[in-house]
Amino acid sequence: MKIDWAALGSVFGVSLVITVVMVGVFTLGIVGLSRRERAVAQGESAGLAVTGAYACFAACAAVVAYGIYLIVA
């Protein structure tokens, strides 16, 4: 009997890193949107925050797309 520790280890590492990075990036995106919400409420603009937010969401969408690709392939 041979247990594939390498595969298990890589599942562990990959899952940990991807989850933390994904959630982190998405949270940053949310922070950007919240900043816009506050800025709009005070009549200011928050162009940089919004651009950053959409960049974050785009990155997340790309990872999700890759996930779907993995399911299909």
Binding residues (CB under 8 A) for another protein: these are: 1-4, 7-8, 10-12, 14-16, 18-20, 22-24, 26-31, 33-38, 60, 64, 67-68, 70-73
Kindly tell me which of 37 and 44 has the beta carbon lying closer to another protein. 37
Backbone phi and psi for residue 43, each to the nearest 5 degrees, phi listed first:
75, 15
- 47 neighbors 39 (Cβ within 8 angstroms): no
Give the shortest CB-44-to-another protein separation in angstroms: 15
Give the shortest CB-55-to-another protein separation in angstroms: 15
> Whole-angstrom Cα distance, residue 66 to residue 4?
25
